Chains A and B, each alone.
Chain A
Amino acid sequence: MTATLAVNRITLTGFRNYAQLRLDTGAGSVVLTGPNGAGKTNLLEAVSLLAPGRGLRGAPFDELVRQGDAGWAVAAELEAATGPVKLGTAYSLSDGTGEAAGRQVTVDGLAQKGSGSLGHHTRILWLTPAMDRLFAGPASDRRRFLDRLVLAFDPDHSTRVLGFEKAMRERNRLLAEPHADASWLSGLEVELAARGVAVAAARLAAIDTLRGYAGKPTESGGKPSHFPWVMLTCEGEVESLILAMPAVQAEDQYRKMLHDSRRADAGAGRTLIGPHRSDLSVTHGPKDMPARLCSTGEQKALLIGIVLAHARAVKAGFGGLAPILLLDEVAAHLDAGRRHGLYGELEGLGGQVWMTGTDRSLFEGAGPGATIYDVNHGAIAVHGS
């Protein structure tokens, strides 16, 4: 028996359009078909909340509460790297008694501090229609995408990014005061530099790994894919420092840059230099063309190619376990050749895949282990049952 990372059972309570839902999927792949608005993506979103962070829509937690309910809960039984594990996450709306609303996370029934620890049990990646504009849209979206790729290699990355952002908010606030304490500012800049360099270094390391799987086939030695190979870089001041000097020195240098930029940052009301301004640059390999200039269809193919390459890289570095992939409305926009290419590559990966689509016929050949479900108004049934 080959080991897989998979959701075996998932239970939703008060989540989006689901009052109560239990799905026993087993370790096989899941195909959700049904009309638009039936709740297919909502279910994928629930699965995505079993990874650190805010899930595949990045929505505020109170928006996930079903109309009329006081909160939501997602519970799942998984086959994880560490063996069978029960993960739970829930959120309650503030009840007006002054008790703060918040998200709870449990692992095997034990309460966790934040969602970061989920990353030690699962690796979950996703592709959604909202990501179609990833290459042409704002750099912040690409940064978030990159950080999610990093997180699958390195579960501590989310804590690192949150720490960096926290230190930055503290410094911005302090700079807004008329006589900010210099010692205090220096203390925050030491933290900002240490955490910022760690964030940038983790991104560079992830891109380095990814190049071996997404890069030119002759270089990576892999089989030719149905999706174009890419050139990847992460561009930013701190990344440049790390590439030019040892990390300790880069930290010192970045700290000096922050110190010298106090006046400018105070004027701008934000921190002008740092990994929070970095960008992921993607180039279509065979065409030698920046991804943002490629056709919509090619951009989609590039994105799928990166996600598949990343999944292979994660599998190689994660004890041979392929990550769980959530592919929302992906099949519909591919021609038959690429669609079957995708299914072939997914089968080669051997992990659990959750796919959605309105047209059931598109999932022919989606793999022998996949179960097709009909989704309709928050109710789900195995197709044909």
Chain B
Amino acid sequence: MSRRITGPEIERLIQLLARLPGLGPRSARRAALHLVKNREKLLGPLAASLKETEEKVLVCSSCGGIDTVDPCTICTDDRRDASIICVVEEVGDLWALERAGALNALYHVLGGTLSAIEGVGPDDLNIPSLISRCGPGSPVKEVIIAVNATVEGQATAHYITDRLKDFDLTVSRLAHGVPVGGELDYLDEGTLSAAMRQRRPF
């Protein structure tokens, strides 16, 4: 067994930091050390920010995005073109598309992809809410499916296309320009914008 080098509080901080994506145990120790050394400038404000976020974070009941207000900032932004909905797998994809400034539309976050092996079916994703957003009387004229080029992503895209086929709207997809298996998250902003401009009917 390895010997403890700090008290349980800092050990706990390190363990929690190590669970963040991209941080292993080694970088978690480095981050924890940096925080405790900058107690006033960083640790305090970070703790307050974490607390505030924890209290206020919400999932938007309309699009499935994450914000501190519901409906979210994007859904209530009337400068956006409400006739277009861009469907993404995760909030991170939404953020990537927004960063790229690729389009001025509304979004719908699925919360994952269909996966028989992982036991994720249509009702485990925000697919029913997408269907109802596109239902009779809705302003939606185009649904852009911006999912990853993985097997699960593409199967999900086919599924959604099939479910929307009787609706009076266009379903389109990104011109990926990335190899099979490529993921949206890995695309740079220029490529994302280009893929969005060159979207084509599904």
Q: Which residues from chain A sit less than 8 Å from chain B, CB to CB?
A: 113, 116, 156, 159-160, 162-163, 166-167, 169-171, 173-174, 177, 181, 183-184, 186-188, 190-191, 195
Contact = CB atoms under 8 A, between A and B. Distances in A.
B32 interface: no
A193 to B, nearest CB: 11
A167 B151 contact: yes
Given A159-B179, A170-B117, A191 B122 contact: no
A163 B181 contact: yes
Contacts of B122: 181, 184
Contact of A184 (B151, B155, B179, B186): B155
B158 interface: yes
B74 to A, nearest CB: 28
B40 interface: no
A159 B180 contact: yes
Given A173-B116, A181-B121, A195-B180, A190 B151 contact: no
Contacts of B114: 184, 187
A156 B182 CA distance: 12
Contact of A173 (B117, B157, B163, B180): B117
Contacts of B154: 187, 190-191
A168 to B, nearest CB: 9
Nearest to B153: A191
Interface of B is mostly: helix
B194 to A, nearest CB: 21
Which bucket holds chain B's interface residue count?
A: 20 to 34
B155 A162 contact: no
A160 B149 CA distance: 12
Interface of A is mostly: helix
A231 B77 CA distance: 66
B151 A186 contact: no
Contacts of A160: 180
Nearest to A187: B158
Given A181-B122, A187-B156, A113 B186 contact: yes
Interface in B20-70: none
A105 B167 CA distance: 45
B131 to A, nearest CB: 12
B23 to A, nearest CB: 11
A174 B114 CA distance: 11
B178 to A, nearest CB: 11
Given A163-B151, A163-B180, A181-B122, A191 B117 contact: no
B156 A169 contact: no
Given A159-B179, A163-B181, A187 B155 contact: yes
Contact of B158 (A113, A116, A166, A190): A190
B186 A170 contact: no
A195 B114 CA distance: 18
Nearest to A113: B186
Contacts of B156: 187
Contact of A187 (B150, B162, B186): B162
14 contacts: A163-B150, A166-B151, A169-B117, A170-B115, A170-B117, A170-B151, A170-B152, A181-B121, A183-B159, A184-B155, A187-B154, A187-B155, A191-B155, A195-B180
